[in-house]
Chains A and B, each alone.
Chain A
Amino acid sequence: MPDPTPRVIPFQPPRPADPPALRIEGLCLSRSGAALLNGVEMTLSPGGVTALLGPNGAGKSLLLRVIAGLIAPDAGRVIVPRAMQGRIGLVLQRPVLLRRSVAANLRHALALARVPRRHRAPRVGELLALGNLEALADRPARRLSGGEQQRLAIIRALAANPLLLMLDEPTAHLDPQATHAIEALVARVTEGGTKVILVTHDTGQVQRLADEVAFLHQGRCHEIAGKSAFLTHPESAAARAYLTGKLLL
């Protein structure tokens, strides 16, 4: 017998379309009267590696901190795709490792990511394998080499399965071998579907890793383009000056 009570379907207001990729609108941040971010506008591609390129003081590291929610902007906003919300990882230029072993650093990150205790040990094993650090699992994290510490910081950031991983100059001060290991790790991360934003000064690294390039200068995004287009035919005068080695003031 049919139910005589009519079904009531609650009204659902149309939701704004979920942006497919990270979008930054009019981001401004000043400190002591100096505009550090000066109306940054950019829409990043949904996947792959976006390199943030620009001279020292351009606002690259600051932009990563704002995207990660560590610093609130004075104006503007960061629009994060719904699926990506709460799943953003950041590796700082000088990563701070806890005063614990390599494995304990990973266990701690998994605990903070609320990974159930029974799943942590196998996940630690996976992460160690990803970073090629299995042999160093019980070593004090702070006694690793610079390259090993960076690899640990990256796999620790992956503990929460981020959909966006931001790396602030991960190969600064590293030798070519350690740089290669980091780049190989980043390539594996992107293969897994994680979007990567990479701050770098190294155009060679941009050539090897990036899919697109955003060029920042004096707190503004002057240009965002595909890697090849940017490296061969940069549109902005600032980017052209930077790529030809001219000092940008």
Chain B
Amino acid sequence: MPTLSDSFLTALGLIVSGDADLIEIVALSLRVSLTAVLLAALIGLPLGAVLAVVRFPGRGLLIVVVNALMGLPPVVVGLVVYLTFSASGPLGVLEFLYTPAAMIVAQTVLVTPIIAALARSTLADLLGEYDETLRVLGANRFDVVATLLWDGRFSLATALLAGLGRALAEVGAVMLVGGNIDHVTRVMTTAIALETSRGALPLALGLGIVLLLITLVLNAVVLGVRNRMEAHAHA
């Protein structure tokens, strides 16, 4: 059994040498999670904006449901997506199960409520500030939503980051629907779980370090871009 320091040094060696397996796993993780966040943003941002702007019967209940779904257990999502795409499921004909597509769907389901709920909260605050001004200027609901999304974009970037963090760190759902198949559906979190159970700590630790670095770099980049753009033009 290697010591922690041995594992750490071996892990650094894998990263520095550009180990092919490690790169493949990291690339698939990023492809799946970024795609899922993009899809979740396309659904969650307009949904959050509509919940913030439009008054309709049942709106309060829907907000409660969306907020509650932020804490959706990944394994439950994985199970539902599994049943949906299984051979006897309603979308079994798509043959998504054990492919990255199913993993993207599962992560999209997990991340959409996070983005929608955080966007609703952000945009509701902004609406409180902008409402009268936009109405006086003749804005219709579509104009209001578009204006809020644009002017709230820096705060919404934080919501997207929260969603990406959830997607990258998630293991239960992608394990169920992806199957953790080597060179097909193995991503960082499922690989870490597998390698740890096999006692192959260097690769698990290397992937863990990469996962942390990716999260750190993404947050730093988004924060840097946000600060720079805000300082440049939009206070």
Contact = CB atoms under 8 A, between A and B. Distances in A.
Interface in A94-119: 95-96, 98-101, 104, 108-109, 111-114
Interface stretch (B50-58, B65-73, B134-142, B186-194): B134-142
A68 B235 contact: no
Contacts of B139: 112
Interface residues of A, number: 30
Nearest to B154: A99
B151 interface: yes
Nearest to A64: B136
Given A98-B151, A112-B138, A160-B138, A92 B133 contact: yes
A123 to B, nearest CB: 14
A98 B148 CA distance: 10
A90 B132 CA distance: 10
A141 B139 CA distance: 20
B135 A96 contact: no
A144 B233 CA distance: 12
Contacts, number: 54
A69 B129 CA distance: 18
Given A100-B234, A112-B138, A95 B143 contact: no
A140 B233 contact: yes
Nearest to A69: B135
Interface residues on chain B, size class? 10 to 19
Contacts of A108: 137, 147
A45 B230 CA distance: 45
A27 B134 CA distance: 25
Contact of A96 (B129, B138, B233, B235): B129
Contact of B137 (A104, A112, A142): A112
B136 A90 contact: yes
A112 B151 contact: no
Interface string B112-139: 0000000000000000011011111111
A99 B138 contact: no
A69 B138 CA distance: 11
Nearest to B136: A90
Contacts of A70: 132, 135-136
A200 to B, nearest CB: 19
Given A108-B147, A112-B143, A99 B136 contact: no
Nearest to A104: B233
A157 B147 CA distance: 17
Contacts of A68: 136
A219 interface: no
Contacts of B133: 92, 95-96
A97 to B, nearest CB: 8
Interface of A: 65, 68-70, 86, 89-90, 92, 95-96, 98-101, 104, 108-109, 111-114, 138, 140-143, 156-157, 159-160
Given A108-B137, A113-B137, 8 more contacts: A89-B136, A96-B132, A98-B130, A108-B147, A111-B143, A114-B138, A142-B235, A159-B137
Per CB-CB distance, the 9 closest pairs between chain A and chain B, nearest first, are A140-B235, A142-B235, A96-B133, A99-B234, A90-B136, A112-B137, A99-B151, A112-B138, A112-B139
Interface of B: 129-130, 132-139, 143, 147, 151, 233-235
